[in-house]
Amino acid sequence: MLSMYKVFVIGFFAVCSGNNFSGNRNNVCRTFKDYATISTNPNCFYNPDVGAHPSIIAQRYGYPFEKYKVVSKDGYITSMYRIPNNNKDLSKKRIPVILQHGIAITSAAWMLNGKKSIAFYLSDQGFDVWLPNGRGTEFSTEHVNLTTQSPKYWDFSFHEMGIYDLPAIIDFVAQNTGQKGNIIYIGHSMGTTMSFVYASLLPDHAKENLKGIISLAPIAYLRNIRSVVKFAVPFADIIGNLLENLGIHSVGNVYSLSRQLVSSACIMYPLIIPCEISNIFLTGLSFGQVSPETIPVILSHYPTGTSIKTLKHFAQLYNSHGKFRLFNYQRQENLNHYNSELPPDYPVEQIKVPVTLFVGRSDFLSSVDDVQVLFNRLRGPKSMQVMNENGKYEYAHNDYVIGRQTTLFRKDLLNTLRNL
């Protein structure tokens, strides 16, 4: 999604803007230019999804909503939501689908596209939809004995989310649905990374519980990214270590301030245009996908908390020149952790669950070449779909969850789900 750098660059303008999402005033517009006169423009209107909790969004569109808490082996408490049905065909037994969001956002990511959102679409297609919130995000800040004020709380990356959170989440869904072995996992961005960690290091657990893994914008091997983020990652360890030495172990966890800084500036005209341009340079460009009226909805839920260690781990993947491997603690600490000077690679060839990879040629973070490397190393049942092959459609990194043109992708997604 948007870069943390942007939060600080536009912060001054945000504080001065006075824009907010309170009341029932116009908060979205149909074109970028309309934002110049948002308060009086007839092409602008009030969208109650802006800043709303996922439960409110779901219920507004007529879906039941349930809340659960899941405790992982290392003590983190994940909040998980559920849309069990669409208030129709209540006697029908539904296949459970776990939707795992990406970095710096919550499960709301699957609901930010209005009635067309993937969470609602899958519910309408007869699936039992489960929505975990990653550790450290706004809705998952609890631990059995740590608080977010403790540096130890933030000592995790996507590795721990994969080996601790996902098994706990999957066990919980299996126990509460009675459908062990029939669960489908759909991840986006970091949600895919977590699944590759989980299914490669715990292949038997994955095989026993999952029917398949579907990966949207897969992130594992990061040698060929085109995003501007590649200019910063060579310095990530230095910056990360400096922040940690200063007692800063997370970013984005001061939720209200972070969002006010980003959203207040980025719904002002003309700043909304450079905000979107910077997002394009970060995640990719696909014509016709970005809806101006969706941007305030997204920004009201982004960013949320993540650990510095997670960002460092992703940077290490890029700096490793094509390795998908465990966290690099440097030589001596690696010897203590791994009995090796270098961290081991994740054994993706050990994954036994069918894996389907969706990748777009307009994605600046998840490149076709890098996903091809992952595909070639998988040894179990697998398939790979490139989004604009055969004249179909182009997708950038986030278009799976917020793209305007979704008909063809969802048809392919549904076919994949039904063929697992």
Active site residues: 189, 363, 397
Question: Following DSSP, what letter does each residue of 323-369 receive, concatenated?
Answer: --BS----HHHHHHHHSSSSPPBP-GGG--S-EEEEE-TTBSSS-HH
Reported in sequence order, the residue ranges of 35-182 that DSSP labels E, i.e. its strands, are 44-45, 66-71, 76-83, 95-100, 127-132, 142-143
171, 165 Cβ separation under 8 angstroms: no
Cα distance between residue 132 and residue 106, in whole Å: 8
247, 151 Cβ separation under 8 angstroms: yes
Cα distance between residue 296 and residue 95, in whole Å: 33
| Residues in Cβ contact with 77 at an 8 Å cutoff, skipping those fewer than 6 apart | 69, 70, 71, 140, 142, 143, 144
Q: Using CA of residue 299, residue 304, residue 310, residue 312, what is the dihedral sign?
A: positive
38, 267 Cβ separation under 8 angstroms: yes
386: nearest Cα among 375, 394, 377: 394
274 CB-contact burial (10 Å; exposed 0-12 / middle 13-18 / buried 19+): middle
Reported in sequence order, the residue ranges of 109-167 that DSSP labels E, i.e. its strands, are 127-132, 142-143
Cα distance between residue 71 and residue 77, in whole Å: 4
Q: Find the farthest-apart pair of alpha carbons in the chain and give their distance in angstroms, rounded.
A: 65
The single residue listed with the structure tokens 């439960």 is 55
CA 173 from centroid of its chain's CA atoms: 20
303: preceding bond cis by omega (within 30 degrees): yes
Angle at 22 between CA 106 and CA 133, to 5 degrees: 10
Cα distance between residue 236 and residue 3, in whole Å: 14
